[in-house]
Amino acid sequence: MTALGKIAQGLRTFASDVAQGFFEITHNGFALLGLAVVFSVITLTARPDLRQAGETKLIGWLQARQEATLGLPVNAEAIDRATAANPKDLPKQQAAVAYWLSKKYRVAPEPVSALVAEAYDIGERTKLDPTLILAVMAIESGFNPFAQSPVGAQGLMQVMTRVHSDKYESFGGKLAAFDPVTNLRVGVKVLQECIARAGSLEGGLRYYVGAANIEDDGGYAGKVMAEHVRLRQVATGRASPLPPPQSIPAVGPPAKPDSGEDKVALLSQS
């Protein structure tokens, strides 16, 4: 064998040894990494407190990085507090009502969709027409969840919070009056009681607005019933022309002497 051949063979041997060594090192390295991963999984499974602490630290670090990038506080749970739903996810009938109300009262369709869905759900459970519930809401507050009348009726359904405070206890207290869904549920309960006491729908509406014991309800019952009819037409697919948008939401009929204090409150706490 020539000297050149011996050199070539030596280089091949050297390269083979290097490759074999690299393979063994990486193989052992991956094996160690795999063992570390398995050990970590077993440890975290056996110690959920460690896993939770690690997740909390990681989330905190990611949130801090995001806040630094955006320059404002962030809260990933904010979406859970939003009263909103995609109208496209609603049944066809409910979606039609939501879009119609959105256009008429110039409010976003997403929160209206959540209220429409809730009205249909609670309407089924209470045997009240959901379009009646929505009609009361429309006339009372124009879908403003923060509305307040001069005599203290509050929220979407303009319930007298101080009179019906007992109804809010299960929802955490009187401040829940400004949670749209809670106000809707309490308002429906009050409306149910009013209708039961009056023995008729229109009579119940007069009780609801605090006009049961006076001659004129300011046209309140008629307004609610007219809106109720329009919403039923929309729900059944019969197009109802939209009137000009409401610029200032209504919060019930004009106050009358010695009657305003009874607004949505003639039924005392029970």
Structure confidence by residue, pLDDT tens digits, 180-217: 999 999 999 999 999 999 999 999 999 998 887 777 78
Model confidence at 256: pLDDT above 50: no
For 146-183, what is each residue's pLDDT tens digit? 999 999 999 999 999 999 999 999 999 999 999 999 99
pTM of the entire predicted model: 0.69
Q: Say what the pLDDT of residue 251 is.
A: 47
The C-alpha angle with vertex 177 and arms to 184 and 77, in degrees rounded to 5, equals: 90
Given a contact cutoff of 8 angstroms between Cβ atoms, the answer to whether 168 and 176 are in contact is yes
User: Is 50 exceeded by the pLDDT of residue 244?
Assistant: yes
| Residue among 224, 63, 49 nearest 136 (CA) | 224
Residue pair 192/202 in contact (Cβ under 8 Å)? The answer is no
- Percent of the chain exceeding pLDDT 70 equals 60
- Domain extents in the chain: 3-79, 87-262
* CA pair distance 30, 129, nearest whole angstrom: 66
Rounded CA-CA distance 65/82 in Å is 24
Which of 200, 242, 270, 249 lies closest to 101, judged by CA?
242
Is 87-262 a CATH 1.10.530 domain? Answer: yes
Dihedral over Cα of 204, 210, 214, 216: its sign: negative
pLDDT tens digits, one per residue of 93-130:
999 999 999 999 999 999 999 999 999 999 999 999 99
Give the pLDDT band (50/70/90) at residue 269: very low
